[in-house]
Homo-oligomer: A and B are copies of this chain.
Amino acid sequence: MALIYIVEDDTNIREIEEFALSNAKHKVLGFSCAKDFFKKTDEIIPDLCLIDIMLPDESGNEIVKKLRRNPDTKKLPIIMVTAKTSELDLVKGIEDGADDYIRKPFSVMELISRVKALLRRVEKEDIKELRLDDLIINNEKHEVSLNETVIELTFKEYELLSLFIMNKGIVLNRDVIMDRVWGTEYEGESRTIDMHVKTLRHKLGEYGNRIRTVRNVGYMIE
């Protein structure tokens, strides 16, 4: 799936991380210090890296700063792993330019899902334009247009439509939709998704009925 570098001096934890991410079909390389890590990034830049805050030679924050200074690794997705729970650390990590953080002790599932989410987020930012025939989503302008005419969508509507078009021809169930658009678990008794689908359908005019309801399963655009 993706090439991931891990910088973590605690061998036990590093191995857990390696196992978990390999299990999730990623190609993983682990390093116990910053030096080894940089030696490798000079050679091959990974798709994502997981960096512990406390390291023998350099702090994780230092590593992030360096990576951000280098044009080649400026946009490299970074997840910081920290044992310190204070919020200061968290903020600092993000200010320094990490894209996400995980607090120890973490669960394997959490690790996997955060990595997955970040990879997805990055991949999404890469896409400049999405289209479904004459319906165009311009991600740079954050604007949707149909036959040259701009369609005004709210944030959630935009996200939802993007998700549908990114997965055209694939039925998305409510769990997935909730997870991807709202980042939360779907709780059975909510009409939120239907609501947004309804307004989307309305706003998309003739294209509205291309959002199909698959009863008992979810929604799909075709």
Contact = CB atoms under 8 A, between A and B. Distances in A.
Given A90-B108, A101-B108, A141-B169, A113 B16 contact: no
A189 interface: no
Nearest to A24: B121
A62 interface: no
Nearest to A171: B142
A170 to B, nearest CB: 5
A185 interface: yes
Interface in A99-145: 99-101, 108-109, 113-114, 116-118, 120, 140-142
Given A90-B108, A91-B15, A94-B19, A220 B141 contact: yes
Determine the interface band of chain A, counting residues with CB < 8 A from chain B.
35 or more
Interface in A141-186: 141-142, 154-155, 169-171, 175-176, 185
Interface string A183-194: 001000000000
B20 A94 contact: yes
Contacts of A185: 113, 116
21 contacts: A12-B87, A15-B91, A19-B95, A23-B99, A90-B108, A100-B108, A100-B109, A101-B108, A113-B117, A116-B175, A116-B185, A140-B169, A140-B171, A141-B169, A141-B170, A141-B171, A141-B220, A141-B222, A154-B215, A155-B215, A155-B217
